[in-house]
Amino acid sequence: MGKYVIAGNWKMNKTPAEATELIEAIKPLVKDATCDVVVGVPFVDLCAALEAVKGSNIGVAAQNCHWEKSGAYTGEISAEMLKAMGVGYVILGHSERRTYFGDTDVTVQKRMRAALDAGLTVILCVGEYLEQREQGVTGEVCAMQTKIALGGVSKEELARVIIAYEPVWAIGTGRTATAEQANEVCALIRETVAGLYDGDAAAAVTIQYGGSMNAANAAELLAQSDVDGGLIGGASLKPQDFATIVAAAK
């Protein structure tokens, strides 16, 4: 299965000074990690975060990027700009962006294209709303989001795509998917990738689970056969909890 990656999504939290402090606290706790470790920070914290992670095993992610390289897009940040700063990763299609800021499968696909062209690694978020789970269409929703976002992505480029299965009802709610639910959908996403590419590509792609993963439930979720890591919101702001999750990703 894919390489284990534990990524924190700090959302709209921490000033630059606080970002430095948090990374300094995390660094010694994850230095022996056997998985990849990433922190997804607000745009204004990127400089401080890139400075703080120097010489460590921690990568830095932005939480979004625009699909154009430059232009009249007030308030936006391009993938090229992120790459030029030294940022390695970008989170795309997070449900909070889809729900509150109008991101759609189509704009996620465009952002994906721009991010890959710029040389970034993408953490692509997919996941169903509670109503969709209750209607029995979780598989269809996640497969559709995955297929559209990966439209035009070559097999070589797929090596720079991490997929995060994030059921919307589990994000920030304290309500985690059961390990079985998480594994079932991660497996389905892997099958979708196999259908788009081939079995090798599906086996190699990293598929994370995200949604109220914490220090107490991480080991069980990460032990599932199709779960190759986690996208962690709230618990990524607590150094010891984040480190416990990283240690569980073996």
| Residue numbers at the binding site for ligand PEP (CB under 6 A) | 9, 11, 166, 171-172, 210-213, 231-235
Least CB distance to ligand PEP at residue 156 (A): 27
Least CB distance to ligand PEP at residue 53 (A): 20
Helix then strand then coil, % of the chain, to nearest 5: 50, 15, 35
Closer to ligand PEP by Cβ: residue 229 or 234: 234
> What's the rounded Cα separation, in Å, for the pair 2 and 183?
14
Q: Which of 80, 94, 96, 128 is catalytic?
A: 94
> What's the rounded Cα separation, in Å, for the pair 164 and 79?
20
Closer to ligand PEP by Cβ: residue 9 or 20: 9
> What's the rounded Cα separation, in Å, for the pair 14 and 244?
21
Least CB distance to ligand PEP at residue 11 (A): 6
Amino acid identity for residue 122 in this structure: V
Contact 245, 235 (CB under 8 A): yes
Tell which phi-psi region holds residue 170, choosing left (phi > 0), alpha (psi between -120 and 50) or beta: alpha
Closer to ligand PEP by Cβ: residue 70 or 178: 178
Q: Which of 80, 96, 128, 166 is catalytic?
A: 166
Least CB distance to ligand PEP at residue 74 (A): 26
The answer to whether residue 94 is catalytic is: yes
Question: Exposure pattern of 101-111 as b/e (b: 16+ CB <10 Å)?
Answer: eebebebbbbb
Which residues, 6 or more positions from 105, have their beta carbon under 8 angstroms from its beta carbon?
93, 144, 145, 148, 149
Closer to ligand PEP by Cβ: residue 192 or 212: 212
Residue nearest to ligand PEP (CB): 233
Closer to ligand PEP by Cβ: residue 210 or 229: 210
Which residues, 6 or more positions from 134, have their beta carbon under 8 angstroms from its beta carbon?
none
Please report the sign of the dihedral spanned by the C-alpha atoms of residue 137, residue 143, residue 146, residue 148.
negative
Tell which phi-psi region holds residue 102, choosing left (phi > 0), alpha (psi between -120 and 50) or beta: left
The answer to whether residue 24 is catalytic is: no
* Catalytic machinery residues: 94, 166
